[in-house]
Amino acid sequence: MKTKQSVSEAKLSKLWLLPLVILLSVPVWLFWPRERPPELTIVTETMPAAAEDTAVETFHSVLTVDAREHFPVYLTGAVYLPGLYYVPDGTILADVVADAGGLREEAASEHINLAMRVMAHQMFYIPTRDELVENPQLAALVQPLPGTPDGKVNINTADEPLLITLPGIGPATARAIIRYRESNGPFEKTADLMKVAGIKKTKYEGLEMYITAP
């Protein structure tokens, strides 16, 4: 019959075997051959040099044609999206108005020739009916702005209603332009407009394409 001491010694001897088994298992696990993941192969296609050159030439050709056949027109007044629009040759005012979201309800549509053909650098002001009642001269602004054949505004002859149709020019600045002309004589060149209080280089650059000073 086994004593309690001998049983305890047997259990202790088994417990010492566990760390030994673990130590022997680690090297086996580390060096056991395992399957490698499949290699990733990247396949690229290179466009032939001739085809690449053709694609680049075509892209530049499209840009050149687009830049040559489209010109800027400025539309402001009683339209939903006033601003600068680039249109192709043959465009009429109705096309530009459509690009601008159409006429507002208060627009004086009966005074507007929507069939008018537009030209490069023209500016059109669409007045409201109330504006025409207060200032009948605005009716003339539906036509290409007077001053030069291409529709640019002559800053030496334009009055206040005409000047305020220019982008960034409000009544106060328009009156300042007129006062400058009266005090200093006509502008010799359009850049002289920057001598007027309130017109800095940035504002002038936004006006330059719409004005002239012959």
Topology adopted by domain 152-214: DNA polymerase; domain 1 (1.10.150)
In tens, the pLDDT along 130-179 reads 887 877 666 655 555 444 445 678 899 888 878 887 878 888 999 999 99
Q: CA-CA distance, 101 to 81, in Å (whole number)? A: 6
For CATH 1.10.150.320, list the domain ranges present in the chain: 152-214
In tens, the pLDDT along 165-192 reads 787 888 899 999 999 999 999 999 999 9
| Tokens matching residue 101 | 């979201």
Look at domain 63-144 and name its CATH class. Answer: alpha beta
- CB-CB contact of 201 with 183 (8 Å): no
For CATH 3.10.560, list the domain ranges present in the chain: 63-144
DSSP letter for 53, please: H
Name which of 21-35, 54-68, 89-103, 194-208 the model is least confident about: 54-68
- CB-CB contact of 176 with 197 (8 Å): yes
| Tokens matching residue 124 | 């059109």
Residue 159 identity (one-letter amino acid): D
Residue 49 predicted with pLDDT over 80: no
Maximal CA-CA distance, the chain: 134
**Locate tokens 């001491």: which residue?**
5
pTM of the model: 0.42
How confident is the model over 122-137, as a mean pLDDT? 81
- CB-CB contact of 158 with 108 (8 Å): no
